[in-house]
Amino acid sequence: MGRGAYALARVAVIVRAPAGWLWWSGLLAAGIGVLVPGLTGRGIGVPAGVALGIVAAFVVFAVRRRRYAALADEASRAGKAVILQDRAVTLRLWRRAHRWWLLLAFPAAVGSSFVLPAAGGLLMAGAALGLWGKALWLGRWERERDALLWVRTEAAGRGGAAGKAVRGYVTTGTAAGDAAPGGARGRRGAARPAGTGAGRR
């Protein structure tokens, strides 16, 4: 992993970073879309949207799972010269880096309702469910092994937490950082590293 200090972000936090935005924006877009008759009508658009959402949830949950699992199983213990990035910082940086496609997704979903009412919004909501499911799957791995998964921030910034630039994960104890297993918001006062000597950023 190289020498000297380097920053780490939680893998599960990166995975679930877009989920909340996709979920609420998707539901809002679907609600607006129900008001639009569309070319196919609501009787076709809404059921089609539900089907698309279910497919999206399964696809998003499944994509790159083998790579996540391989990186997790081969993870090494974090050294002392690391900086653990706060959950809020990871979310903010991810959303800032992807703000344009996040902003464009909502009008695109609303616009699709003129063809299939509510379908685009339900597709977004389904993708959010898939991301949450993958984060929960990672959380189960972390609980079973009593360890948290981290990735170097510069590598994750080039293709995500399981992108080609990621050469490996590292682990810390479950008391490290400020996010619970699976990347959800942790309890206050639980941000001290556990035996890694790592700091926070």
Q: What is the pLDDT of residue 3?
A: 56
Burial of 175 (0-12, 13-18, 19+ CB in 10 A): middle
Provide block-wise average pLDDT over 10 residues at a time, the chain (201 residues): 75 96 96 88 91 97 96 92 93 92 92 93 97 97 96 92 94 92 75 42 41
Tokens of 21: 């935005």
pTM: 0.88
Contact 165, 153 (CB under 8 A): no
Crossing angle of helices 19-34 and 42-62, rounded to 10°: 170
DSSP label at 36? S
Long-range contacts of 154-162 (CB under 8 A, 24+ apart): 154/6, 154/7, 156/9, 156/14, 157/97, 160/14, 161/9, 161/11, 161/14, 161/15, 161/68, 162/64, 162/67, 162/68, 162/71
